[in-house]
Amino acid sequence: MTQTSDRDITAQTQAAPVTVLWDPAVATYNFGDHPLDPVRVELTMALARDLGVLARPNVSVTAAPPADRDTLRLVHQDAYLHAVQAAPHDPFFRGWGLNTSDNPLFEGMHEAASLITGMSVRAAEAVWRGEALHAVNVSGGLHHAMPDRASGFCVYNDPAIAIARMLELGAERVAYVDIDVHHGDGVQAVFWNDPRVLTVSLHESPVSLFPGTGFPTEIGGPDAEGAAVNVALPAGTGDAGWLRAFHAVVPSVVRAFRPQVLVSQCGCDSHFRDPLANLTLSVEGQRAAQLEMRRLAHELTGGRWVVFGGGGYGLVDVVPRTWSHLLATATGEPMSTSSATPDTWRGFASSKRPAAKVPTVMGDGADASFQPWDPGSRTDPVDRAILATRRAVFPLHGLDPDDPRD
């Protein structure tokens, strides 16, 4: 199959409008002394700005109104919405996944979560309506929230709501690819039995990591078998194994699905310095995945690409660099990982987190090359994971699980 070159894709992107959603008020989504610290998105946007990414001529940086109740109801139960609004006023509140160590209460929880969701919905609308070729909300990607409860730092499931909004607008085939280290369980659950949505998740094995789901045998409901695709990778998997698994599964199933739009959740907690998980990717490896998803969008959807952040708890040294690469990739010319971080940003980062080691370059100096999957390999744990996923879902898409050409 002939693919458009990265240079051509960059030129196409630069010639098209790209929307970046941003509002400093997303910092009010703040659980307090908690791993999901909003400083990570503040530092990301500051770094992208100081690198000149947000000033590119095709880029519009804009805010969006909070999602209203009808929009939230596209995914969430009304009783749960009432609970989110009521819970912060009752320190003894229990239920709905709220007031736990993962999801502690904070004032304005509903408003902050609605704002992030509104930004993700606006990103989806802009792409679906042709107002933007790509749209990015790095504060979004809160993929664990369920229709009736909070989970895993996530109050409202903005990616699922954004997808549901595109379905409401007439979309018939939406592909969702989730590269967060944690399984994209909430989005999978919402669309479990909906053949219009393909959910693909690459994550650390549920044997060793929250949320304990995402086995390759999870393939979708009776009306949508094959619409859920899960690649569960062993703890310790690095760039070479992760990228081999990505390329052995994701392009094939996404091509077979023939989506009209691609949605990517780009959590960067797969990094080797992330404190909450056990994969060992580098910034270079994560950037390579971003580039591949952009290629798929331009190959299959006319370039329509909706992009969200997600997890990532290396607040200063990982998230800002990886997501600045994401913003650069989504808006035009990808950045070199050997580029220096700007002095202005290093000073700002130090002022926000004086004890942190602030990175001076945009990469880790890693080699993100990989060997393609070999169907004859059975001994490597990554290759066994690849084969388990391919055998579970490839036949449902008319693909041969043992043929590397599929």
Rounded to an integer, what is the distance from CA 61 to the centroid of its chain? 19
Residue in the block written with tokens 């041969």: 400
Rounded Cα distance between 264 and 262, Å, is: 7
Is 247 a known active-site residue? no
Token pair listed for 391: 């055998």
Cis preceding linkage at 211, omega within 30? yes
Q: In the chain, helix, strand, coil percent, each to 5?
A: 40, 15, 50
Partner residues linked to 197 by β-bridges: 174
How far does the chain reach from its first CA to its final CA, in angstroms? 11
Q: C-alpha distances in angstroms, 57 versus 13, 21, 331? A: 11, 16, 10
Q: At what angle do helices 109-128 and 78-86 cross, to 10 degrees?
A: 130
Residue 315 corresponds to which amino acid?
L
Q: Nearest to residue 204, comparing CAs of 270, 250, 267?
A: 270
* Alpha-helix residue ranges (DSSP H) falling in 169-307: 185-190, 239-257, 283-300
Q: How many CA atoms lie within 13 A of 272 on its CB side?
A: 14
How far is the C-alpha of 403 from the C-alpha of 138, rounded, in Å? 36
Question: Which residues, in sequence order, are bridge partners of residue 262?
Answer: 175, 305
Q: Which of 76, 134, 143, 144 is catalytic?
A: 144
232 DSSP β-pair partners:
203
CA gap 6, 10 in Å, rounded = 6
Task: Kindly state the tokens that stand for 30.
Answer: 């703040």
Q: Angle formed by the axes of helices 283-300 and 239-257, to 10°? A: 10
Give the active site residues.
144
